[in-house]
Amino acid sequence: MKKLMLVGAALVALSAAPAMAQSFQGPYVGVQAGLNHDIAIQDKKDAFVAGVFAGYDQQVAPNIVLGVEGGFSVAASDRLGPSGTNAATIDPNYSFDLSARAGYLVGEKSLVYVRGGYANSRADVSTTLANVTTTDKRTFDGWFAGGGVEHKLTDNVSARLEYRFTDLDQNASKYQRHQALVGVAYRF
């Protein structure tokens, strides 16, 4: 009888304990903006970038969060490449990415994470040879990796700061991107 009372008391105590907050759990959508530092062909260019993202997080352990995310962005004034009689330029139109992320909760409101996945960029590529310029649209596929920190501002709104490195090299042409992004997300 004593054991039954102890088990009953333990169950009452556990059910009365506050539930752990699932602060990074479920679907979310957001907006982000930042700076691109693109390195293509033989030149470098900085540009403003803005976009949207959507994803889903699952808290798999008390401090571990795993998630998936997709994003779409456009860049302003992103013309790349040297000028001259034998030159090439890459002018990105838009890009999208699909990624997975793994994070560690620091306290109840902050998530430190790493991210990696697939990246795609659609661009106008212009080539000038002997003062004759040709332009065509090309799609660049590659990968990206990065990390960041996300902090809950309210129960449904979070802000994040993130760094990404993207490698879109193809056919022996160098095309890489460094990004610093800030974003705001709404969690459902």
Q: C-alpha angle with apex 113: 109 to 115, nearest 5 degrees?
A: 145
pLDDT (tens digit per residue) in 49-108: 999 999 999 999 999 999 999 999 998 765 555 555 556 667 777 899 999 999 999 988
Taking the model in full, what pTM does it have?
Answer: 0.79
Q: Are 88 and 127 in contact (CB under 8 A)?
A: yes
Q: Is the pLDDT of residue 8 over 60?
A: no
pLDDT of residue 92: 75
Q: What is the pLDDT of residue 84?
A: 54
Q: Is 169 helix (H, G, I), strand (E, B) or coil?
A: coil
- For a pLDDT cut of 90, what percent of the chain falls above it? 53
Domains and CATH numbers, the chain: 25-187 (2.40.160.20)
